[in-house]
Structure 1
Amino acid sequence: MSYQFDFSFLSQYWPDLLRGVWWTVRMALLAMVPGFVAGVALAIGRIHGSAVVLRMIGAYIEIIRNTPLVLQVFWIFFGLAAIRFHVAALVAAIVALVINVSAYTAEIMRAGLESIHGGQIEAASCLALTRRQVLWYIEIPQAVEKMYPALVSQFILMMLATSIMSQISAEELTGVADLIQSFTFRGFEAYAVIAILYLMLASALRWVLLAAGAWLFPRLKAGVAAGGRK
């Protein structure tokens, strides 16, 4: 049995694919910043919070990290609708992504915060810096710099996880591919095309984030350059 590859549908459906790319990028960007901020806040609370706060944050992180993202977005989109609280697909997708990535970011940032030498904290205290100033000027910048490569990988995974949002009819890339193959019956070609698009998006996002990291943290750029000369 032979199979004839046919990508002619691209001439008709390329506007839909571009719309899917836009939705994917939009969801990822709208979830990235609040997810990072929430993750940093959770990490700080888990290290410097009271025993009650620590247990609450720990429970939140364990629940989110040990349940599927698709279940989380289903609960927001379908579960809340059951109690007559309707949420738009884009909003439900972004909220689910923020909740999910914040839990993973919290653990990444916690590792970064705990890696800072205690002598720096003591020196800052001797200079009469407040707890907030120590966090803002010493701990958080160093933690972000140390864990930046891990954060980049996590944000790329989050961008790829937007594919799950097709399950709630969000018109991102995978959702568009589902529609295309349902009309053209060219599932192999449709999913091959979006696989290439996802690869391009992931590569572009990685390049942008690493370029931003090299600008924000010159030592990262120096480390990469030194590694390349070996």
Structure 2
Amino acid sequence: MYQFNFQPVVDSMDLLLHGAWLTVRLSLMAMALGLIVSVLGAIGKTSGIRPVRWLIDVYVEVIRNTPFLVQIFFIFFGLPAVGVSMSANTAALVALVINVGAYGTEIIRAGIESVPQGQIEAGRALGLSPAKIFRYVVLKPALRNIYPSLTSQFIYLMLTSSVVSVISANDLASAGADLNAQTFASFEIYLVLTIMYFLLSLGFSALFAVIRRLFFTYPASR
């Protein structure tokens, strides 16, 4: 009969909490930078410049149709062959940004194209500049429309970040693997990691719900 022993996990909880913090920090940075990439990619895809649209299409299709594990291996192990070297943590961040940027580009592109043309024409009639039309008339309504899909992608990004442990990047999964190598309490460690990732997902969901109420909810009429 297996004897459960959570004492090694309790004794090393500070290591796991530090790993959880690193996962949160890595995920937030990747989300912020990935959102910028997504917006720029969506602008390029909806523009009339054919070479730009073609390049973005290639980028999106390559990333969406290859495994994330292969992508991170290519960045960390492949690029040094052509003189581009980076630390494990930097490679993890770059891989996550590139990955979420491709998926986010398609999500935001769909949101931009969902904005009625009449709203854009109304903005022009009011004398708004193209930049203000895009910011207030196109981008914000588009983000409101696709906000649930975008936040789901970001939560998936946080869970996917556990893969970066394969290149020894510092995160929660890596901390768990290190602890498992020291104590061999695999069941207890990975049970706790499962719970911690679940709680992180709930935390991000709550954060995104607050952001939605603050920025994407119409004020109640009186």
Shorter chain as denominator, the TM-score bin is over 0.9
**Contact 2:107–2:146 under 8 Å retained in 1:** yes
**Structure 1: which 4+ aligned runs deviate by more than 3 Å?**
none
> How many angstroms does 1:83 deviate by?
3.2
Normalised by the length of structure 2, the TM-score is 0.95
Report the AA paired with residue 205 of structure 2.
R
Alignment partner, residue 108 of structure 1 = 107
Report the RMSD for the aligned CA atoms in angstroms.
1.4
Structure number with higher relative contact order (C-alpha < 8 Å, ≥ 6 residues apart)? 2
Alignment partner, residue 182 of structure 2 = 183
Alignment partner, residue 210 of structure 1 = 209
Provide the rounded CA distance (Å) in 2 between the counterparts of 1:197 and 1:43: 34
Between 1:178-187 and 1:59-68, the stretch displaced more is 178-187
> How many angstroms does 1:85 deviate by?
2.9
Alignment partner, residue 193 of structure 1 = 192
Provide the rounded CA distance (Å) in 2 between the counterparts of 1:59 and 1:146: 26
> How many angstroms does 1:144 deviate by?
0.5
> How many angstroms does 1:127 deviate by?
2.1
Listed as ranges, the matches of 1:51-90 within 5 Å are: 51-90=50-89
Between 1:77-86 and 1:20-29, the stretch displaced more is 77-86
Runs (5+) with no aligned partner, structure 2: none
Alignment identity in percent? Answer: 41
> How many angstroms does 1:107 deviate by?
0.7
**Contact 1:20–1:175 under 8 Å retained in 2:** yes
Listed as ranges, the matches of 1:21-170 within 5 Å are: 21-170=20-169
**Contact 1:152–1:210 under 8 Å retained in 2:** no
Give the length in aligned residue pairs. 220
Provide the rounded CA distance (Å) in 2 between the counterparts of 1:56 and 1:83: 22
Runs (5+) with no aligned partner, structure 1: 223-230
Normalised by the length of structure 1, the TM-score is 0.91
